[in-house]
Amino acid sequence: MNDQLKRNHRSLASRLWLFAGGSFAFGFALVPLYDVLCDVTGYGNRSRLVEAAEVVEAPDENRSITVEFVSTAPTYGNWEFRPAVGSMQVQPGKLYEAHFEARNLRSQPIVAQAVPSITPFQATRYFQKTECFCFTPQAFAAEESRQFTVRFIVDPKLPANIDRVTLGYAMYDAKQGSG
Amino acid sequence: MSTVDTHAGHSDTHHHDHHGPEKGWRRWLLATNHKDIGTMYLLFSLTMFFVGGLMALVIRAELFQPGLQLVNPQFFNSMTTMHALVMIFGAVMPAFVGLANWMIPLQIGAPDMALPRMNNFSFWILPFSFTLLLSTLFVEGGAPASGWTLYPPLSLQTGNAFPLSIFAIHLMGASSIMGAINVIVTIMNMRAPGMTLLKMPLFAWTWLITAYLLIAVMPVLAGAVTMLLTDHYFGTSFFSAAGGGDPVMYQHIFWFFGHPEVYIMILPAFGVISEIIPTFARKRLFGYDAMVYATASIAFLSFIVWAHHMFTVGMPLAGQMFFMLATMLIAVPTGVKVFNWTATIYKGSLSFEPPMLFALAFVFLFTIGGFSGLMLAIVPADFQYHDTYFVVAHFHYVLVPGAVFALMAGVYYWLPKWTGHMYNMTLAKWHFWLSAIFVNVLFFPQHFLGLAGMPRRIPDYNTQFADWNMISSIGAFGFGLSQLLFAVVIFQAIRGGAKATDKVWDSAAPHGLEWTLSSPPPYHSFEVAPEVK
């Protein structure tokens, strides 16, 4: 094999290795490209997800709603679980925070899961929880006390005939079902 | 196509600074000769064909009847996963690389592959890679069982087999990339004087395009599985929603590799068929240029259709429309090819030697696989077909009577050239007829099962699917056992047999530089480049 041919081989082969390296890099570049494509086109509902995370406060000064808090006695285990306040006056379109007190009365650790419900039912889609202890299971050490937080905002589009909304929680032992 | 100067082929008598092959194991371990490496590739892939086939028979044995009889579901899933990985990366791809090693230098009049040491390396990686992959059958947690696509999060639950299989895939990828680079450099730099690109045999052409596909997408697969590895062990969240990643993104990256990959397995098959049909039709290939451009078009389109594998993940309508239409567009260049093969056969004086039988079966059965592919491309229909046996039937039609039949056709076409011996024609024809019948008994009923709703990758099924599954399993065992004949024919021809002439198929007078050499060709052929007019 003559030298010229060897040089040609080497140069073409190294360009092809570069191509292969570029392909490897392109595989990783697909990760940000995928995000960019979704953001630009709005595919995958990503923009809507981002909107849901942002809370835009637009308080309706002329309206006042009573929000009541109730807790249901745990159906399993031995619990203390009650709202910190029984009710509060809120303006639609404004972010509020409410607290619940919970205590595991048993001498064993336990994982709790709170399940919310809104009354009246028609108000459910207008009562938005931006943060809630009910989103994740809550682990308790033996006889541990905890304060839970829920942040919520009542949509100003809440029908005019509703002036009272009840947020209730039932507490369950999260591990009961799975044994 | 090239016109061959028959005097040029005898230039191989100048052996002044070369010796014959080394003796013993050194010849194979230290091989740099394209013929030796080609032989090793082909024998390796034949072995893997039987290993993967055995796994397929475990699957079909379990599915012979409803209920769980032979294996547990985890092992069943390992079998589907390993069968795919072994057949794709161990049987079909190395077999085509083996054919490329043997035939490309002979077809373009080059003395060897351009980068012989890298050639040696790219072959010898493979046994290590597959030892690694097959060893996962014996590790804690069992072999990978998440399907060959290795979708997270399921694939991240693989036990100790996980890193082993990922490294095995890395090695296979490295081997394929090296093989591809070698093919490109050989074709670009070492064609005989006068052999312009558009005079090149189609097998070399399809391989050139395939090699570019390999270099473009194998590294993407390497990247995707590397991301899986770092997600599992180094706390990254490429595909973990909890850390801001997206498991669907894996599917996008995987299929960006995966779709070109299926053309990597079929384009060289098109090349083989385009060599064989003209020979035994005793005509020139109809529409040579169109064949080249159709191959290039298919290669290009393969990059923009990947999401048709994942219509059901929840894609926007515009995306579904785009990927559906782009996919259907592939039918056009593929149709051009089928048309050209048919036009080559038309008014040809056909003879039905084993390579031609396999080639004709390829054209007919591959087209069936193409049609079911078109059905799957239709988005609303795909929602019904997705993840059913219809998909299994589709891709097995394009891969088994498609790629594998083309490989067998190629082996039967060139085996006398390689060994210098004619093989047992009767046995080869038995092999063909048994394969062609059983492959349809095996896969055709799977269309019905899929349309009736039987899901793939599940070891048990509703009793309504029992009859067709039993027939399919009978076909599987028939097909599997018939392949033993293939091995017998090959080993008989290696050991001896009637002397093959230079042209091998004398009555058909095949075209191409490989037929100007003796059978078997000298260890060092075309040391002085032949003149191509």
Average pLDDT over residues A136-154: 89
Chosen from B176, B214, B249 to mutate, greatest number of chain A CBs within 10 A: B249
Q: Name residues whose C-beta falls within 8 Å of residue A33's C-beta, 6 or more positions apart in sequence.
A: none
Give B329-363 pLDDT, tens digit per residue: 999 999 999 999 999 999 999 999 999 999 999 99
Per-residue confidence (pLDDT) for residue B452, from 0 to 100: 95
Which tokens hold the place of B258?
Answer: 């995966």
Residue A112 reports pLDDT greater than 60:
yes
Which tokens hold the place of B300?
Answer: 């290009």
Give A7-32 pLDDT, tens digit per residue: 999 999 999 999 999 999 999 999 88
Per-residue confidence (pLDDT) for residue B350, from 0 to 100: 95
In angstroms, what separates the C-alpha of A39 from chain B's closest C-alpha?
13
Report the chain A residue with the minimal C-alpha distance to residue B257. A27
Chain B residues inside the 8 Å CB shell of A9:
114-115, 185, 189
Which tokens hold the place of B425?
Answer: 């024609």
Residue A47 reports pLDDT greater than 60:
no
Q: How far apart are CA B294 and CA B297, in angstroms?
A: 5
| DSSP conformation letters of A135-149 | GS-EEE-TT-EEEEE
Residue A43 reports pLDDT greater than 80:
no
* Dihedral, B261, B265, B266, B272 alpha carbons, nearest 10: 150
Residue B255 reports pLDDT greater than 50:
yes
Report the chain A residue with the minimal C-alpha distance to residue B217. A23
From the list B190, B253, B316, the residue facing A30 with the nearest CB is B253
For this complex, say whether ipTM is above 0.90.
Answer: no
Per-residue confidence (pLDDT) for residue B22, from 0 to 100: 82
Per-residue confidence (pLDDT) for residue B91, from 0 to 100: 97
Phi, psi angle pair for A169, to nearest 5°: -125, 140
Question: Do A13 and B185 lie within an 8 Å CB cutoff?
Answer: yes
Question: Do A28 and B215 lie within an 8 Å CB cutoff?
Answer: no
Give A73-103 pLDDT, tens digit per residue: 665 667 888 899 989 999 998 889 999 998 8
Least confident stretch, B238-252, B438-452, B473-487: B238-252
Which one is predicted more confidently, B90 or B529?
B90
Mean predicted lDDT score pLDDT of chain B:
93
Per-residue confidence (pLDDT) for residue A171, from 0 to 100: 83
Strand pairing category for A164-173 and A65-72: parallel
Per-residue confidence (pLDDT) for residue A25, from 0 to 100: 95
Q: Which of B280, B175, B203 is nearest to B2 (CA)?
A: B203
User: In what order do the strands lie in the sheet containing A127-132?
Assistant: A79-83, A95-104, A145-154, A127-132
A136: confidence class by pLDDT, cuts 50, 70, 90 = confident
Contact of B439 with B483, CB cutoff 8 Å: no
Q: Name residues whose C-beta falls within 8 Å of residue A25's C-beta, 6 or more positions apart in sequence.
A: B223
Q: Which of A120, A108, A105, A97 is nearest to A73 (CA)?
A: A105
In angstroms, what separates the C-alpha of A119 from chain B's closest C-alpha?
32
Contact of B380 with B319, CB cutoff 8 Å: no
Per-residue confidence (pLDDT) for residue B19, from 0 to 100: 66
How many residue contacts between A and B have a Cβ separation below 8 Å? Answer: 74
A54: confidence class by pLDDT, cuts 50, 70, 90 = low
B16: confidence class by pLDDT, cuts 50, 70, 90 = very low
Residues of B noted as catalytic: 83, 112, 148, 175-176, 259, 261, 263, 274, 308-309, 334, 337, 456
- Give the gyration radius of chain A's Cα atoms: 28
What is the distance of C-alpha B268 from the center of its chain?
8
B141: confidence class by pLDDT, cuts 50, 70, 90 = confident
Average pLDDT over residues B147-153: 93
Average pLDDT over residues B196-217: 96
Cβ count within 10 A of residue B316: 14
Contact of B514 with B8, CB cutoff 8 Å: no
Of chain B, the percentage scoring pLDDT greater than 70 comes to: 96
Question: Do B189 and A9 lie within an 8 Å CB cutoff?
Answer: yes
- Give the gyration radius of chain B's Cα atoms: 23
Mean predicted lDDT score pLDDT of chain A:
84
Average pLDDT over residues B415-422: 96
B305: confidence class by pLDDT, cuts 50, 70, 90 = very high
From the list A12, A20, A31, the residue facing B188 with the nearest CB is A12
Q: What angle do CA B16, B21, B27 make, to 5 degrees?
A: 145
